[in-house]
Structure 1
């Protein structure tokens, strides 16, 4: 991975929309794609002042051993280790690759995306360039994003139809069965101050959030009761059904009636269910750091992707040598792909130490395929070989 120097500058209003910014980045990376032209949210609204903006160029080469053994079904995908600019280790990116298309419309193609895993800035504006490196070391099938993309944590952008799958299978593209994907990212973000417009949005929406929280606490006009253990939580079908497709299907199955419905929810503690329901009303979650594992499980169960992202971020911040193995098992079991990618990267970087933990024994004994995935090896081979990245 190669990260180029950062340009931290204050852009005056008339410079933001001028070609001069393109010239600035061109001096950093002659062959890089154009820098995003949209920086309005970095300016302090109405003051005429300017905000500090950081410009990063990140180049990363990802070698995938045994590419032909990667998933062949549409929707299957693999995720690279995380990478970041040397100047900002908190900005984490990864590459997401579907060997046979991520959606039905892209079946037969290799789909390729960049995903923002984490960042200090709430928004990152970026342009992408992808290519493949053939067995002669040449960069081929170079494709640039034509538009500036706005990334938030967990969002991925790229190419649904990057290259025909059959072309990738050619011996010229695979060196000893290995496929090398190269990614270049020009990213621009405000690393010191969040966009002021977000503060205005939160202020405007706060009245709605407060009113919905009062509705949840008072139970006014509630029409269904969720029962977990000995605890009954009265809620409103319209709100939970609108927020979660699982609850929507559950309420539809129960049908309509004059009396209040009582629906038993098994396999979840009452306090966790109460927190999940409050989140569906308000978007707020209390004591996330204390209950992030249980809430991650609940978010997967009820299809609450934004809650899952919050849980993943909380768990990423707590990954250690002692808990890494158990964390990657948790992430795999509950579809937490960002957490999984980060933890696999962490294990690869600390493999000697992690192998001494009790969690590693559990991983080896009961999750053989996951061990093979960590080391990028097929299940039929030993998992002692170091990964190639």
Structure 2
């Protein structure tokens, strides 16, 4: 509960320079006071979000596509959250390899079914396929929370074209195994605690939580900066392209090599990212060799990602916002992705809007995409369509051009 509560018998003035934590999500802190306020009592409204994950492996997947039956339904074993108030609930995944009734031609369908529970659940889900490189692909997310009643199922009837799954160059199937990864977020009801009337015994106690978090960030920063091969248990090797040769630094690059190596810790990576958690929970190449090879991101981006995973912040997020957004989405670092998205919104300009529009479309960010299109149609259309970025990123994609034109007409 609260470490410090204002007594009811007399007003106590809280100065604006006292360090108080913002928001109402932490029941051990008070709201920020920017000026002097007199408070007699305090209460807190809180809501908890519980996240749990599950992987379903379907062996000999191509045989289901060759089965003469027009409709085939597969179900996973029941699974439950490990902890939380919803631990007694049971869920399962349902897959139609050749599509459910009403599915478009050549599409696989995927659903999440709520099969056991004593109450309705507010939840949403994120579906992905895990390819042979242990990368999450074909990610589809519920746009918002839905109410699940026992026996209900929700998902995507047109999830992914099944005839592309068997293409060798797609790398989706690993030894003809389809790996389906689901991340489920359950929303609890909001709870408001009763109003408290207690005395401030020690003004300094307000700062305990803040000082503790600052010390935690400081210590984990040192852990990241001074990780040696003896202290760490995983190496991240990033290939350096000729155009990014300046990324190589004497302190962390392999001599006579085109890679930059970062030392890290499996436990921290797994705790922060469900992608790394899935990677280290299975007999993957990375888990066996203790080496993660990354070829699609720059080394400074990976350094920023590790900085965020160890300390919860990135000092210069505007340095490479576009690539950091891709990195955060790839490894499901939701808070980092939102930070990068906000930075992209604030950096919108005539020169950057085309690239950001393509990024939002590729990563299915409705909010970011809507903001960019609104920026384009609000008097900037002519200037933006004449930029090199428009011809490089947007003009070659008819669907994006159509969306912009339609928005212009509506405007």
Query: What TM-score, normalized to structure 2?
Result: 0.44
Q: TM-score, normalised by structure 1?
A: 0.47
- Which protein is bigger by CA-based radius of gyration? 2
